[in-house]
Amino acid sequence: MKDKTFLMIPGPTPVPESVLLSMAKHPIGHRSTEFSALLKDVYADLKTVFGTENEVLVFTASGTGAMDAAISNLVNPGDKVLSLVIGNFGERWAKISEMKGAIVTRLEVEAGCAINPDEVKKILDADVNKEYKIVTLTHNETSTGVTNDVKTIVSIIKEHGAVSVVDGVTSLGALPCKMDEWGIDVLVSGSQKGFMIPPGLSFLAASKKAWELHEKCLNPSFYFNWKQNRKSVIDASTAWTPAVNLFVGLNTALQMMKEEGLENIWERHRKIGTALRAGVKAIGLKLLAKDEKYASNSITAILPPEGISVPDIRKVMKNDYDIVVANGQNKLKDKIFRMGTLGFVSERDTITAIGALEATLNKLGYKFELGSGVAAVIKSLAE
């Protein structure tokens, strides 16, 4: 059946109809007073979602663009960077930094684990000469479904004095993330996740300390240039021609987010993530997250039952039940599948997802008590 597909990948995520329709209009001129008024609202609302008084820069680019925008405005060749790596996206910070000429030290953990803040403290305490200029980390690791304790880690980085650079691509607008309160120096995110719009926009905010480090950056990016882009935010404008239609969609989505309320959005994600995991476990499947206390509420990484392959699960889920779930990435390919519950996702979707997963596993010959997953979801949601 056409047009039935429902995305439960970690992004792009489902987009509300009102957002899609608001985007389906002729672009308006990006230097018009009408667009400038829209930008003013968008910039103000983004500050709320980021939990910051800093200006939030918006780039016409994907989340990786905002990550590049962070590093390429801070790093000079030869600078020392500490990268906390719990999966692919943590590794991406390290790679971007190396591309810019940084000397990168990695603190890496096994897939499914979070960073232990004590380990970070040990490394930074040993850095008595304050050689590390920057520490990069991932709030919510999309490749493993693990959420780092950013609040604690950032407080340790703050004590050391390095600039903390945090990937909030799959956390902002889904999981609690409070830039100013937690003392995050640079925070980036993307549009096709918690923000419920199609991919193409990404966001970055920087603290005063980060701006001071930026001042020392010799050859910052032109397109992603912080100064140029901040000037435009203050002028309710954009530095370059923006993806006008995506901005219109973003404005619609931000209104929806305001109506629901940020705390309620976080609570919805917590509830749904918890219920999804309850369903998965009730069927007898294992989570990749070694400890449920750091299992992500926006992305759940699941090991298939023995003897049943990830590609088969994905194929039946897609062909028979029109739900797209993601494979693992790189080393985790065919070892796990990932379900996103991120953005425009409801309790009903969680029941649907576990119901379809049950039907899929049943077809593939896995033996379990039919209905046990859905029952666990319903019970968890009712708590």
Tell me which stretch binds a second copy (CB under 8 A): 5-13, 149-157, 177-185, 255-263: 5-13
* End-to-end alpha carbon distance in the chain: 35
The residue among 96 and 135 lying less far from a second copy, judged by its C-beta, is 96
Q: Is residue 100 a contact point for a second copy (CB under 8 A)?
A: yes
Residue 77: cis peptide before it, omega within 30 degrees of 0 = no
Q: Is residue 194 a contact point for a second copy (CB under 8 A)?
A: no
Question: Nearest 5°: phi and psi at 204?
Answer: -150, 135
The answer to whether 287 touches 280, Cβ cutoff 8 Å, is yes
Question: Nearest 5°: phi and psi at 113?
Answer: -105, 160
DSSP per residue over 202-264, as a string? EEEEE-HHHHHHHHT-SS--STT-HHHHHHHHHTTS-SS---HHHHHHHHHHHHHHHHH-HHH
The residue among 191 and 380 lying less far from a second copy, judged by its C-beta, is 191
Among 37, 122, 181, 219, interactor with a second copy by CB under 8 A: 219
- The 80-85 sheet, strands edge to edge: 56-60, 201-206, 186-190, 163-167, 132-138, 80-85, 103-108
Among 117, 173, 176, 190, interactor with a second copy by CB under 8 A: 190
CA distances from 238 to 62, 64, 210, 226, 309 (A): 16, 19, 21, 12, 47
Tell me which stretch binds a second copy (CB under 8 A): 92-100, 130-138, 180-188, 349-357: 92-100
Q: Is residue 246 a contact point for a second copy (CB under 8 A)?
A: yes
Tell me which stretch binds a second copy (CB under 8 A): 43-51, 105-113, 193-201, 374-382: 193-201
Q: Is residue 311 a contact point for a second copy (CB under 8 A)?
A: no
Q: Is residue 68 a contact point for a second copy (CB under 8 A)?
A: yes
- CA dihedral (79, 209, 168, 251) positive or negative: negative
Q: Is residue 245 a contact point for a second copy (CB under 8 A)?
A: yes
The residue among 61 and 114 lying less far from a second copy, judged by its C-beta, is 61
Q: Is residue 243 a contact point for a second copy (CB under 8 A)?
A: yes
Question: Nearest 5°: phi and psi at 199?
Answer: -65, 155
Among 87, 194, 242, 279, interactor with a second copy by CB under 8 A: 242
The residue among 14 and 117 lying less far from a second copy, judged by its C-beta, is 14
Binding site for a second copy (CB under 8 A): 3, 5, 7, 9, 11-12, 14-15, 20-21, 23-32, 59-65, 67-69, 71-72, 77, 95-96, 99-101, 190, 192, 198-200, 218-225, 239-246, 324, 326
